[in-house]
Amino acid sequence: MIPLPSLSAALRVWRRDLRVFSKIWRGALLPLFFDPLFYLVALGFGLGTYLATINGVPYREFIAPGLCGSAVMWAASFEVAWNAYFKMEESRLYDSVLATPIEVEDLVLGEVLWAGTRAIIYGTTFLVVITLFGLVESWWAIALPPFLLLGGLCFATIGLAYTSLIPKMDYYTFYFTLFITPMFLFGGIFFPYDRLPDWAQAVAWFTPLYHLVAIARDLATSPDVLTVAGNGAWLAAVTLVAFVVPVRGMRRRLVA
């Protein structure tokens, strides 16, 4: 097991990241924000006009909530990939942090919370956009941001675990090509899962995006509270269990 992190120490790490972000947010926000917007326009309004409805829902309305989930996934993953690796191995910023009363578990929690914060910013901004487009039909969507944060924390923890274990930055190619991009394409954003073979549904169940997209689509339409809670519990449980990995990995790497 790992020592319990100190929330106040973790928030000091979080505040440093917030301070840096407050200087660069214009440049940082735009690309990741336009990304899901382009998919929505190209697929929803472009391809979607050639498609019939999916389960009675117009195609653009079908994919819009799921894109909130993918915005969260990309935002959290970028933050704990190159950004974190740079601070760990290149600028050695983590060394200077760990020479203060902040311990590895606090540092990991702080970075995960920060990546989750970025994720909720991007995901919620996109939620506002699709609402303005008239693609959200249920008031339940107001309950989505906390789940976007939860999803962000989950992706951040998994990504930081990967960062703590890889020997060099080149390994992110594998992470994004073999994990993040397939989730984006097959995680249930662009087509429904119930028509796929059982094995494909089983594989999808093991990926975080599948659960986040399911929550987003449920809340944007007519949610079944128990299903939403079940998917949320999946994300929370995976986040908690996976949290051990980056703490151990970074401890071995930075304070062994």
Partner 1 sequence: MSALAVHARALSKAYDGRVAVDGVDFDVRAGECFGFLGPNGAGKTTTMKMIYGLAAIGGGTLEVLGRDVARERRQVKARLGVVPQDDNLDRELTVRENLIVQASYFGLSGRAADSSAREALGFAHLEDRADSGIQELSGGMRRRLLIARALVNRPELVVLDEPTTGLDPQARQTAWATLERLRGEGVTLLLTTHYMEEAARLCDRLVIMDFGRIVAEGSPAELTARYRQPHLEAVFLHLTGHGLDGYGRARLEALGERS
Contacts for 184-188: CB closer than 8 Å, 24+ residues apart: 184/70, 184/73, 184/74, 184/209, 187/66, 187/69, 187/70, 187/213, 188/66, 188/213, 188/214, 188/217
Which DSSP state fits 192?
Answer: -
95 binds partner 1 (CB under 8 A): yes
Nearer Cβ to partner 1, position 237 or 255?
255
Listed ranges 11-19, 57-65, 118-126, 179-187: which one lies at the site for partner 1 (CB under 8 A)? 11-19
Which DSSP state fits 210?
Answer: H
Shortest Å, Cβ 28 to partner 1: 12
Nearer Cβ to partner 1, position 52 or 99?
99
Q: Applying CB under 8 A, which of residues 31, 45, 49, 96 lies at the interface with partner 1?
A: 96
132 burial type by CB count under 10 A (0-12 exposed, 13-18 middle, 19+ buried): exposed
Q: Applying CB under 8 A, which of residues 31, 101, 146, 192 lies at the interface with partner 1?
A: 101
Binding to partner 1 (CB under 8 A) within 23-42 occurs at: 23
Contacts with partner 1 by CB under 8 A lie at 8-9, 12, 15-16, 19-20, 23, 91-93, 95-103, 254-256
